[in-house]
């Protein structure tokens, strides 16, 4: 059986098991089968699975169930250890390959663990409680009211479109102003902040905060105070504590040595060693863009396909440069990199 890797933990003991969110997990998810494999003073948290367990299914519901279980196991181990999440769906062939991964990535894993030790991720969302009321108030702004009055004299599709744009700009400005106020109040409690995309106009803020564990109650108190300050106009939601998904997540890849050779050939780099230097790769990529970019080859129907191959070759080589890369005993190259 292969090993699904959940996370790297600062737990150096073999076989320590975690619980998903502190609860017993149904046997259908198999989360209780997760255990740790140690290397020096860290370990990989894994579970035995068929090698193609995740790639063999395209069923959305099954994949969501696997992802939920993946997150639950990490959050369970987080209760007793500092953990660095590994990208969902990462599979090692066996325990021997796990030990290779831990050996190759040990310095990177240790640095990542030390950087977030004692810290937890908290996600803070802020939303307009009544977006319709906010838009109504925006419609009473002087410039928008005057435009509406003028447009009413000569109504047209163009005027309606411009009015919509004016309201949207004003809403975005008001949302940005409130977001900046909230961030100014909260940023002193977190050494790390990541901004996530806003899902719709109702959302004011969607941010992840990396907070010192002993500081989290102060963050919660500040948010309680903001609830009162905005008088119910803004609804705050807190998700956490969570592992540091937005700040420290590891990606582990196996790249066939022939794929690296092919990438070097595509980039037309002279082969002097196993891997070219980063400046050589970047210089070759710039030259290839100048020569083969589809915008410069509009008559060539193969230009887009060729360009995608060049981009893929560049990313393959840069992964090897920026990750902890080393040939494995299986004849491929194991690449370990931080993705956030």
For each successive 10 residues of the chain (340 residues), what is the average pLDDT? 91 59 37 82 89 69 85 89 91 90 91 90 93 88 84 83 88 92 89 90 93 88 88 89 91 87 87 76 89 81 86 88 79 82
Cα–Cα distance measured from residue 145 to residue 132, given in angstroms and rounded to the nearest whole number: 17
CATH entry, 120-242, from 3.30.70, 3.40.1350, 1.10.150, 1.10.3470: 3.30.70
Question: Cα dihedral angle (173, 236, 73, 69), rounded to 10 degrees?
Answer: -70
Q: DSSP 3-state assignment of 55? A: coil
Phi, psi (deg, nearest 5) at residue 266:
-60, -40
> What pTM was estimated for this model as a whole?
0.77
CATH entry, 251-338, from 3.40.50.1820, 3.40.50.720, 1.10.287.110, 1.10.3720.10: 1.10.287.110
* Contact yes or no for 101/28 (Cβ under 8 A): no
- Domain ranges in the chain are 2-117, 120-242, 251-338
pLDDT at 175: 92
CB-based contacts of 256: which residues, under 8 Å, 6+ apart?
332, 333
């Amino acid at each position: 059986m292969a090993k699904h890797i959940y996370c790297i933990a600062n737990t150096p003991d073999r076989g320590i098991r975690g619980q998903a969110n502190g609860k017993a997990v149904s046997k259908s998810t198999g989360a209780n089968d997760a255990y740790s494999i140690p290397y020096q003073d860290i370990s990989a948290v894994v579970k035995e699975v068929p090698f193609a367990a995740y790639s063999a299914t395209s069923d959305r519901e099954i994949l969501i169930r696997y992802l939920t279980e993946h997150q639950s196991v990490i959050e369970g181990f987080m209760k007793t250890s500092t953990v660095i999440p590994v990208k969902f769906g990462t599979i090692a062939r066996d325990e021997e390959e796990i030990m290779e991964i831990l050996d190759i990535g040990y310095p990177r894993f240790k640095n990542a663990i030390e950087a977030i030790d004692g810290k937890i991720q908290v996600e803070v969302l802020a939303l307009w409680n009544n977006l319709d009321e906010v838009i109504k108030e925006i419609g009473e702004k002087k410039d928008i009211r005057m435009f509406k009055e003028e447009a009413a004299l000569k109504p047209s599709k163009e005027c309606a479109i411009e009015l919509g744009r004016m309201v949207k700009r004003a809403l975005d400005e008001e949302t940005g102003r409130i977001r900046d106020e909230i961030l100014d109040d909260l940023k002193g409690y977190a050494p790390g902040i990541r901004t996530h995309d806003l899902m719709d106009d109702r959302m004011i803020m969607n941010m992840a905060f990396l907070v010192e564990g002993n500081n989290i109650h102060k963050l919660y108190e500040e948010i309680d105070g903001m609830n009162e300050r905005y008088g119910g106009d803004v609804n705050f939601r807190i998700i956490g504590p969570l592992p540091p998904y937005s700040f420290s997540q590891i990606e582990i890849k196996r790249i066939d040595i022939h794929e690296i050779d092919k990438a070097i050939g595509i980039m037309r780099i002279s082969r002097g060693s196993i891997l070219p230097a980063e400046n050589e790769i970047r210089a070759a990529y710039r030259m290839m863009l100048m020569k083969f970019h589809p915008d410069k080859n509009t008559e060539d129907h193969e230009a887009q396909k060729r360009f995608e191959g060049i981009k893929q070759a560049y990313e393959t080589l840069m992964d090897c440069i920026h990750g902890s890369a080393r040939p494995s005993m299986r004849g491929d190259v194991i690449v370990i990199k931080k993705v956030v």
